[in-house]
């Protein structure tokens, strides 16, 4: 099956999810789970066709005009991701079917979103074309928004949904910017080709911009400092969504893309240093925050942030060791964290209790969940014979092997590992095996099998791969490593732990984790550290949004609340300034033109009348008188035309002037005409200056222009052709009705429509019937 | 059909229909059908014209058979044909939508003739090859727009009409002044002839003055910073169908004219003018979006988003590269369709929930899931998200900016996209997600005449998004035609000989 079919099948299943759910009722979960299960099996069947170091490439023409194709790439790494997506997806669909057992409508909606999300995820990890990758990437952000806001009547859920979208879609835009620049630099959007020409791209001046933008995109998606805050808030989503999106798959997309870029750009400091620094900081912050959290899901969320940071850091670690540890940890985390979320969902669903501190003693009430949870936690703690042990072992190897970054890596690795061990203990032991601190926990319903078996399956898988490592590592994990590293990686994995320094450290970590669990209540109750909680929360986000809101308020007020007079003044003022600026170079033209102008006393009389009209318009108390003043100006202009040998133009001017005054008056009469508000004495000179300035600027422009001879080509043609070709004696008439008849048609239309306007204003209102 | 007729039909058809409507003055019911028929024919003509231009290249009609530059040329090149097609599509949708929601007052006051008249002005402005003739269509447009504002006759509308008229008349007057200066300097009015003559002239006061006046007047028309005040105060007061027409078309005509004039006459924006246009574009984009974000009235918010969109379009002019102009052409078509769609949908939301004030409505996802899905599509397109036309529009514009050595502009374009997305999400959360307030008047059954046209426009945007290649190709041709007008000049100047 070629890669595109995986996406298509998943997409179709998303579309039919709602009707199928309605028809299938209780069995909707298992029934729909057949789709991801089928995809999972089909992916496994690809394994023989995909020897280490090969990739299946597929390209379908899509938007050649922009060089975008539906380009797919299935190699070891995308296969690993696809297996996680479809495998955990299968379990999530089964789980969600039970989770929403009491609301059929919600169930259909939810399963539709989950399958849509799976489509988007498959599209992202199978994409070779970066624009296509981005489209699916944004789709995951969008579906995540809908799932976090699934309980949309709840204001808190809406707020969290908005926050996650702002952060991830905002980062997405940075990523898009990076991709566009990368496309311009490389001349292609194909990841395969870009990786091949990485050395050339790295020498381009745009390289730092590309890397920074891509890093921002990945950091927001994978919740890295300073964008880490959205993920814990995203826990407002229903638990199956948290397990799938906000732990096992979507938040790992940032890591996915970083790893893809690492293949080509891993050796450049500008790429790997930020990964180590920000990954490390995020690890420390989240390790601290997890110890301060009280909510069951919050603890898991912060520990997810810490794990993502670990992955980011490992991508940054140069060389083979980083790749090995990254892949190992990625798989181990996906399995145990999804299981823990599943278990948490079961506990919350059946007890209606969200606070970890109030839970305890549930081992006999939710037995399967308790076992699943225990298995997952042991893997997470890194106990030998579990997948998590091997992951931690590789992690420590990479950290100790870190060269000049060794010290930093060791510190963050040890600190975070100890805390994660503690979290494992907390999440798995406390609700089930420790005594409930506030008395027996009330159970609203017994364990649902649909919600208990999926985590058990994941927990057992973690154990199975730990005990019998060869099949999974050799056929899936090591090919994924090799695909990323660019050449075959050799790795012997044994079930039994190898004794040595690392083993001792592992034991020490287990002990320190146990100690942290033991002292957890005391640490949690220490009130002195509350300030620190706030610092790591979404203060910065709140500040930016607040700032944006204030800027918007101010802008909006300026743009719609001020008086028309102010708007005219600004428009006129800007225009006057621009025009005067345009004239600065032409003062010599103006002087010579002014000197050439003959003195005509009768024109002065007309112009004085114009000025009187203008003054009346400006200073009259009544708006009506003002309009008449404007009319005087218009009529004197007509006289000017008349005196300069253009009687027909003058006649037109008279008509237009009359019509416009009628319309204006009609409009104004319809408004309740209060006496015009008196302007303050300060504003009046300003208004005068602006209006006079505009007039003067245009006047000067005319003056400066008049030095140049006029090109008479058109006038001459009209003069000659009007009688000979158009057979008319009056040139102006011929121009109006023949040469430029279309203008006249348009102007007739203007007059006709203007008449309609006048009619609309003057006629009586239609009385409403009844 | 002869070329002459085909090119001029998109102008003549609505003009004829306006006349018919006027003849049946006392029968608004007949006018309604005349308008819908007219808009259908106009859309058909527009697409026939587009097909013609795509297959034959630039098409010219010289009414009266007076060869350029002596008569008035009507010219359809890829850009104008595309713009006419998109505008006609929106007009068709609006004419169907106008079966509801137009007051009796308006119906008896000449709503339909003015509607047709607006389209005369819009298509005339897109198709004319003559700068004075362009002014004439601007006038038609303006007077019909004012008519559509006053025809409803309530206080808010009239107040908005006065503000709109005052600022726009000033803009139009400046345009006319600019034409006068240009004619004085170059002695001709035909675009193609001007494009030949003006570059040979050398710097002169008249030409410089004309350039600045064009920039200012089209800045007003295209709602560019700092000349955009008329838009947010006028657009939300009208009935949705009028807002949709205005939002989709009026400012677009302004930016189209700016593309035409600056590319044909002044070889794009260069030097100081170039820098100024860059900043006008950037500030227009940002201010529109952040002012939109704090609006509580749906239609006010959309009005500010029009302003923001104009900034994106101005980027094409600021860049003046074939890629930039091509991207802007794509954006223009996208924007015409999507702004039309969202304003129509805003009207539907107002019917469904009894108000367009976001604080007074809510819960529509439960009561109107279909409307929710359609609005979501329009909103995502508006915010530039895949798989809608808005995504490609945003990508192309940003790409052109990075390519044209204006990375800051590209960054601002992408960043503003986030603010637009925030606006859309805000509408979504307020109108659809949150629980509706007590006493909200919900109308369960939405009129099909409103839903169908709005949905159709959203589907067009989706189709462009999923199958972007044809439009992208046409837009690239439009951009190339603007950047290198030799084909345009040859078609016009050679046609009469």
Concatenated DSSP letters of A606-667: HHHHHHHHHHHHHH-SSHHHHHHHHHHHHHHHHHHHHHTT-HHHHHHHHHHHHHHHHHHHHH
pLDDT surpasses 90 at A516: no
Closest residue of chain B to A563, computed from CA coordinates:
B163
pLDDT score of A312 more than 50 = yes
For residue A67, give the chain B residue with the closest CA: B469
Mean pLDDT of A313-320: 88
In this prediction, residue B405 carries a pLDDT of: 87
- Distance (Å) from the alpha carbon of B78 to chain A's nearest alpha carbon: 16
Q: Which of B209, B315, B319 is most worth mutating to test chain A (most A CB atoms within 10 A of its CB)?
A: B209
Chain A residues with CB under 8 Å of B144 CB are: 753
Which helix or strand (DSSP H or E) is residue A70 part of? strand A68-74
Mean pLDDT of B259-286: 90
Cross-chain residue pair A65–B473, CB shorter than 8 Å: yes
- Calculate mean pLDDT across residues A581-588: 85
Set of chain B residues whose Cβ sits within 8 Å of the Cβ of A702? 181
Higher confidence at residue A622 or residue B495?
A622
CA distance B215 to chain A (A): 9
The mean pLDDT value of chain A amounts to 87
Q: Does A585 touch chain B (CB under 8 A)?
A: yes
Residue A711 phi/psi, 5-degree rounding, is: -75, 115
Q: Does pLDDT of B63 surpass 80?
A: yes
Instruction: Name the residue facing A671 among B159, B211, B232 (closest C-beta).
Output: B159
Q: Which residues of A touch B220 (CB under 8 A)?
A: 571
Q: How far is B271 from chain A (nearest CA, A)?
A: 13
Instruction: With H, G, I as helix, E, B as strand and everything else as coil, classify residue A266.
Output: coil
Residues of B in contact with A738 (CB under 8 A): 64, 66
Interchain proximity A184–B184, CB inside 8 Å: no
Question: Residue A51 phi/psi, 5° resolution?
Answer: -60, 160
At residue B59, what are phi and psi to the nearest 5 degrees? Answer: -115, 135
Could you tell me the pLDDT band of residue B441, with boundaries at 50, 70 and 90? confident
Taking an 8 Å cut-off on Cβ atoms, the answer to whether A564 and B162 are in contact is yes
pLDDT interval class at A530 (50, 70, 90): low
CA nearest to B212 within chain A: A579
Contacts of B399 (CB under 8 A, 6+ apart): A66, A180, A183, A184, B323, B327, B410
Asked if B414 and A173 come within 8 Å (Cβ–Cβ), the reply is: yes
Size of chain A, expressed as the number of residues it contains = 770
Cβ distance of A555 and B287 shorter than 8 Å: yes
Query: Among all chains, which residue has been given the structure tokens 């181990």?
Result: A332
Residue in the block written with tokens 């730092």: A208
Closest CA to A423 of A516, A507, A331: A516
Nearest to B104 among A62, A742, A766 (CB): A766
Q: What's residue B159's pLDDT?
A: 78
Of the two residues A159 and B66, the one the predictor is more confident about is A159
Chain B neighbors of A749, CB-CB under 8 A: 15, 18, 117, 120, 140
Q: What is the pLDDT of residue A523?
A: 66
Cβ under 8 Å to B: A residues 411-470: none
CB atoms within 10 A of CB A509: 22
* Cα A523–chain centre separation: 37
Of A173, A711, A765, the CB nearest to B186: A711
Using CA atoms, how far apart are residues A99 and B262, in angstroms rounded to an integer? 62
Is residue A716 classed exposed, middle or buried when 0-12, 13-18 and 19+ CB atoms within 10 A define those classes?
Answer: exposed
Task: Using CB atoms, pick whichever of A64, A552, A768 lies closest to residue B290.
Answer: A552
Segment B374-404, tens digit of pLDDT: 999 999 999 999 999 999 999 999 999 999 9
Question: How many CB pairs (< 8 A) connect A and B?
Answer: 296
Taking the Cβ of residue A149 and every Cβ of chain B, the question of whether any pair is shorter than 8 Å is answered with: yes
Between chains, do A760 and B109 touch, taking CB under 8 Å as contact? yes
The confidence band for A533, taking pLDDT boundaries of 50, 70 and 90, is low
* Model confidence pLDDT, tens digit, residues A104-155: 888 989 999 999 999 999 999 999 999 999 999 999 999 999 999 999 999 9
- Contacts of the segment A766-770: beta carbons below 8 A, 24+ positions apart: A766/B104, A766/B105, A766/B108, A768/B104
Beta strands in A176-332 (DSSP E): none
Q: Chain-centre distance of CA B457, in angstroms?
A: 14
Q: Which of A595, A582, A744, A732 is nearest to B185 (CA)?
A: A582
Does an H or E element contain B75, and which? strand B74-76
| pLDDT recorded at residue B442 | 87
Taking contacts as CB-CB distances below 8 angstroms, the residues of chain A near B392 are 63, 66
How far does B71 lie from chain A, in Å, by closest CA?
Answer: 5
Greatest Cα pair distance in chain B = 72
Q: What is the pLDDT of residue B281?
A: 94
Are the Cβ atoms of A753 and B117 closer than 8 angstroms? Answer: yes
Q: Say yes or no to pLDDT of A586 above 90.
A: no
Mind telling me how many Å the CA of B373 is from chain A's nearest CA?
A: 13
* Interval A711-763: pLDDT, tens: 888 888 888 888 888 888 888 788 888 888 899 999 999 989 988 887 777 77
Higher pLDDT, A438 or A87: A87
The answer to which of A433-447, A511-525, A526-540, B55-69 has the lowest mean pLDDT is: A526-540
Query: What is the per-residue pLDDT across B160-206, written as a single tens digit (0 to 9) for each?
Result: 888 889 999 999 999 999 999 999 888 899 999 999 988 888 888 88
**Above 90 in pLDDT, residue B70?**
no
Residues in chain B with CB shorter than 8 Å from the CB of A63 are 392, 468-469, 472
> Which of B70, B187, B292 is opposite residue A711, by nearest beta carbon?
B187
* Chain B residues in contact with A578 (beta carbon < 8 A): 212, 215-216
The closest alpha carbon to B413, from A720, A617, A177, A686, belongs to A177
Alpha helices in A317-401 (DSSP H): 320-351, 367-381, 387-400
Is A180 in Cβ contact with B410 (below 8 Å)? yes
Cis peptide bond prior to A419, omega within 30° of 0: no
> Which of the four pLDDT bands, split at 50, 70 and 90, describes residue B4?
confident
Whether the predicted pLDDT of A414 surpasses 90:
no
HSE-CB at B300 with a 13 A cutoff on CA atoms is: 19
**CB < 8 Å to B434, chain A:** 152-153, 155, 158
pLDDT in tens, A614-673: 888 877 777 788 888 989 999 999 999 998 888 888 988 999 899 888 878 887 777 665
Q: Distance of alpha carbon A41 from its chain centroid, rounded?
A: 33
pLDDT of residue B327: 96
Structure tokens at A535: 């610092």
Band of the pLDDT at B497, cuts 50, 70, 90? very low
Say yes or no for a CB contact (<8 Å) between A749 and B146: no
CA nearest B114 in A: which residue? A753
Whether residue B465 has pLDDT greater than 60? yes
Looking at per-residue pLDDT, the higher value among A371 and A401 belongs to A371
H/E segment holding residue A56: strand A56-63
Residue A566 clears pLDDT 80, i.e. is over it: yes
Cβ contacts of B393 on chain A, cutoff 8 Å: none
Q: Is the pLDDT of residue A436 over 90?
A: no
- Range 345-384 of A in CB contact (< 8 A) with B: none
Write the pLDDT tens digit of every residue in B406-432: 999 999 999 999 999 999 999 999 999
Which one of A169, A204, A566, A753 would you mutate to disrupt binding with B, by most B Cβ within 10 Å of its Cβ? A753
Kindly state whether A580 is in contact with chain B, defined as any CB-CB distance less than 8 angstroms: no
The answer, as to whether pTM is greater than 0.90, is: yes
**Nearest 10 degrees: Cα torsion B285, B287, B293, B296:** -120
Chain B residues near residue A587 by CB distance under 8 angstroms: none
State which residue of chain B sits closest to A765, comparing Cα positions.
Answer: B105
- Cβ of B476 and A65 within 8 Å? yes
| Confidence class for position A527, pLDDT limits 50, 70, 90 | very low
Taking an 8 Å cut-off on Cβ atoms, the answer to whether B233 and A560 are in contact is yes
Q: What is the sign, positive or negative, of the torsion defined by CA atoms of B350, B355, B359, B365?
A: negative
What confidence score (pLDDT) does residue A769 get? 43
As a whole number of angstroms, the distance between CA B355 and CA B351 comes to: 7
Mean pLDDT within A322-348: 92
Residue B85 has φ and ψ, to the nearest 5°, of -65, -45
Q: Mind telling me how many Å the CA of B183 is from chain A's nearest CA? A: 9
Element (H, E) at A34: helix A28-46
Residue of B nearest to A713 (CA): B187
């Amino acid at each position: 099956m070629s890669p595109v079919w995986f996406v298509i099948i998943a997409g179709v299943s998303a579309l039919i999810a709602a009707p199928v759910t309605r028809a299938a009722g209780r069995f909707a979960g298992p029934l729909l789970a057949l789709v991801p299960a089928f995809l999972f099996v089909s992916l496994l069947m690809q394994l023989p066709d995909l020897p280490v170091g090969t990739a299946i490439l597929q390209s379908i023409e899509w938007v050649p005009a922009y060089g975008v194709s539906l380009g797919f790439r299935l190699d070891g790494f995308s296969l690993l991701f696809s297996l996680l997506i479809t495998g955990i997806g299968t379990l999530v669909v089964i789980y969600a079917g039970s989770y929403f057992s009491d609301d059929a409508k919600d169930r259909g909606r939810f399963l539709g979103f989950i399958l849509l999300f799976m489509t988007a995820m498959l599209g992202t990890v199978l994409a070779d074309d970066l624009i296509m990758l981005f489209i699916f990437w944004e789709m995951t952000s969008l579906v995540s928004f809908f799932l976090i806001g699934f309980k949309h009547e709840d204001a808190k859920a809406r707020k969290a949904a908005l926050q996650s979208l702002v952060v991830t879609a905002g980062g997405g835009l940075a990523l898009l910017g990076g991709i566009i620049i990368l496309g311009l630099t490389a001349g292609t959007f194909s990841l395969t080709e870009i990786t091949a020409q990485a050395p050339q791209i790295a020498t381009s001046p745009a390289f730092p911009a590309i890397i920074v933008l891509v890093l921002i995109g990945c950091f927001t998606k994978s919740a890295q400092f300073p964008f880490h805050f959205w993920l814990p808030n995203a826990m407002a989503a229903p638990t199956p969504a948290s397990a799938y999106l906000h732990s096992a798959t979507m938040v790992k997309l940032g890591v996915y893309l970083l790893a893809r870029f690492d293949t080509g750009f891993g050796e450049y400091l500008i790429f790997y240093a930020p990964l180590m620094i920000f990954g490390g900081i995020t690890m420390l912050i989240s390790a601290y925050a997890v110890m301060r959290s009280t909510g069951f899901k919050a603890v898991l969320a912060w520990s997810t942030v810490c794990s993502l940071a670990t992955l980011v850091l490992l991508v940054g670690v140069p060389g083979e060791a980083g790749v090995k540890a990254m892949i190992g940890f990625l798989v181990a985390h996906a399995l145990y964290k999804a299981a823990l979320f599943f278990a948490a969902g079961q506990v919350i669903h059946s007890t209606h209790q969200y606070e970890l501190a109030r839970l305890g003693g549930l081992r006999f009430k939710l037995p399967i969940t308790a076992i699943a949870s225990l298995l997952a936690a042991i893997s997470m703690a890194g106990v030998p014979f579990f997948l998590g042990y091997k992951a931690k072992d590789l992690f420590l190897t990479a950290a100790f092997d870190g060269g000049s970054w060794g010290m930093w890596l060791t510190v963050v690795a040890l600190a975070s590992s100890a805390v994660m061990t503690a979290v494992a203990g907390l999440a798995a032991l406390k609700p089930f095996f420790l005594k409930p601190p506030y008395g027996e926990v009330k159970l609203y319903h017994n364990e649902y099998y649909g919600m208990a078996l999926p985590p058990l399956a994941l927990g057992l898988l973690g154990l199975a791969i730990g005990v019998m490592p060869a099949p999974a590592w050799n056929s899936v994990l090591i090919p994924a490593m090799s695909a990323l590293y660019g050449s075959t990686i050799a790795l012997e994995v044994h079930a039994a732990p190898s004794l040595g320094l690392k083993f001792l450290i592992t034991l020490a970590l287990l002990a320190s984790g146990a100690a942290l669990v033991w002292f957890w209540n005391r640490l949690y109750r220490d009130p002195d550290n509350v300030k620190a909680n706030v610092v790591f929360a979404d203060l910065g986000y709140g500040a930016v949004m607040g700032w944006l809101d204030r800027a918007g308020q101010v802008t909006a007020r300026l743009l719609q609340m001020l008086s028309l007079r102010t708007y005219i003044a600004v428009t006129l003022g800007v225009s006057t300034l621009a025009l005067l600026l345009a004239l600065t170079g032409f003062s010599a033209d103006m002087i010579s033109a002014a000197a050439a102008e003959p003195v005509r006393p009768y024109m002065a009389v007309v112009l004085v009348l114009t000025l009187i009209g203008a003054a009346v318009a400006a200073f009259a108390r009544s708006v009506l008188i003002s309009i008449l003043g404007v009319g005087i100006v218009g009529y004197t202009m007509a006289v000017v035309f008349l005196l300069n040998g253009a009687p027909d133009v003058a006649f037109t001017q008279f008509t237009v002037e009359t019509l416009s005054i009628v319309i204006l008056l009609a409009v104004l009469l319809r408004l309740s005409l209060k006496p015009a508000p008196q302007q303050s004495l300060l504003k009046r000179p300003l208004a005068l200056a602006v209006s006079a300035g505009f007039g003067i600027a245009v006047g000067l422009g005319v003056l400066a222009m008049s030095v140049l001879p006029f090109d008479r080509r058109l006038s001459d043609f009209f003069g000659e052709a009007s009688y000979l070709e158009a057979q008319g004696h009056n040139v102006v008439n011929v121009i109006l009705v023949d040469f430029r008849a279309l203008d006249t048609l348009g102007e007739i239309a203007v007059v006709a429509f203007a008449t309609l306007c006048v009619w609309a204003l003057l006629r009586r209102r239609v009385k409403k019937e009844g | 059909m002869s070329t002459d007729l085909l090119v001029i039909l998109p102008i003549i058809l609505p003009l004829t229909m306006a006349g018919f409507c006027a003849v049946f003055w006392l029968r608004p019911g007949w006018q309604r059908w005349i308008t819908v028929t007219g808009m259908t024919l106009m859309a058909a003509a527009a697409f026939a014209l587009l097909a013609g231009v795509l297959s034959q290249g630039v098409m010219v009609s010289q009414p009266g058979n007076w060869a350029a530059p002596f008569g008035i040329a009507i010219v359809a090149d890829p850009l104008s044909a595309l713009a006419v097609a998109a505008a006609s599509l929106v007009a068709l949708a609006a004419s169907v939508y106008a079966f509801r929601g137009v007051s009796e007052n308006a119906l008896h006051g000449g709503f339909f003739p003015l509607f047709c008249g607006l389209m005369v002005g819009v298509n005339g402005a897109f198709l004319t090859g003559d700068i004075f003739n362009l002014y004439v269509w601007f006038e038609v447009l303006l007077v019909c727009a004012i008519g559509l504002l006053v025809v409803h006759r309530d206080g808010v509308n009239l107040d908005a009409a006065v503000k709109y008229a005052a600022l726009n008349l000033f803009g139009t007057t400046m345009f006319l002044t600019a034409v006068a200066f240009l004619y004085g300097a170059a002695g001709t009015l035909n675009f193609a002839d001007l494009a030949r003559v003006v570059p040979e002239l050398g710097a002169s006061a008249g030409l410089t003055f004309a350039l600045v006046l064009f920039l200012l007047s089209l800045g007003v028309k295209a709602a560019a910073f700092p000349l955009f005040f008329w838009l947010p105060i006028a657009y939300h007061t009208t009935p949705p169908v009028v807002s949709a027409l205005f939002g989709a078309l009026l400012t677009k005509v302004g930016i189209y004219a700016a593309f035409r004039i600056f590319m044909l006459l002044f070889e794009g924006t260069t030097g100081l003018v170039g820098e100024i246009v860059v900043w006008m574009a950037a500030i227009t984009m940002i201010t529109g979006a952040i002012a939109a974000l704090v609006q509580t009235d749906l239609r006010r918010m959309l009005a500010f988003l029009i302003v923001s969109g104009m900034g994106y379009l101005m980027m094409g002019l600021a860049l003046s590269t074939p890629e930039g102009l091509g991207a802007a052409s794509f954006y223009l078509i996208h924007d015409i369709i999507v702004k039309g769609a969202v304003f129509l949908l805003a009207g539907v939301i107002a019917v469904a929930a009894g108000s367009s004030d976001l604080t007074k409505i809510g819960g529509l996802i439960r009561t109107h899931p279909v409307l929710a899905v359609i609005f979501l599509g329009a909103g995502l397109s508006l915010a530039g998200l895949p798989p809608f036309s808005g995504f490609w529009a945003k990508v192309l514009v940003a790409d052109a900016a990075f390519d044209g050595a204006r990375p800051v502009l590209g960054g601002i374009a992408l960043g503003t996209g986030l603010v637009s997305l925030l606006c859309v999400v805000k509408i979504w959360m307020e109108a659809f997600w949150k629980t509706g307030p007590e006493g909200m008047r919900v109308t369960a059954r939405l009129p099909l005449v409103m839903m169908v046209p709005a949905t159709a426009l959203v589907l067009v945007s989706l189709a462009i998004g999923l199958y972007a290649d044809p439009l992208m190709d046409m837009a690239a041709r439009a951009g190339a035609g603007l950047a290198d007008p030799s084909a345009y000049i040859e078609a016009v100047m050679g046609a009469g000989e």
